[in-house]
Amino acid sequence: MESAITVKGQATIPKIVREHLHLKPGDRVKFFFHPDGTVVMLPKLPVSTLRGMLPRARRPVSLARMREAIAEGAAGLRSRARRTRSRA
């Protein structure tokens, strides 16, 4: 499949490619350059398309509980670091 470049540097994206990428007039695309010289074109998706991808948290966690978890994690790191140093 190919497309010609106009004097203005524009190219028409073939219909089959537009349909495959679900592109409509006004949509934006991004280009990625790979080390092997290939170029990949992907549709630029709005952030709103990400909504609902992750499951909702069952219940919110309070700041107090977050601080406790951080303190517990830090305490665990310290005890693991001591064990590692004593083995060396």
1-45: in CATH 2.10.260.10: yes
pLDDT at 86: 57
Instruction: Check: pTM over 0.95? Answer yes or no.
Output: no
**In sequence order, which residues have a C-beta less than 8 Å from that of residue 55 and are 6 or more positions away?**
none
Q: Where are the domains of the chain?
A: 1-45, 58-88
Please give the residue that has the higher pLDDT: either 10 or 51: 10
Q: Which two tokens stand for residue 26?
A: 């006004």
Asked whether 5 and 11 are in contact (CB, 8 A), the reply is: yes
Summarised one tens digit per residue, pLDDT across range 27-74 is: 999 999 999 999 999 999 877 777 777 787 778 889 999 999 999 888
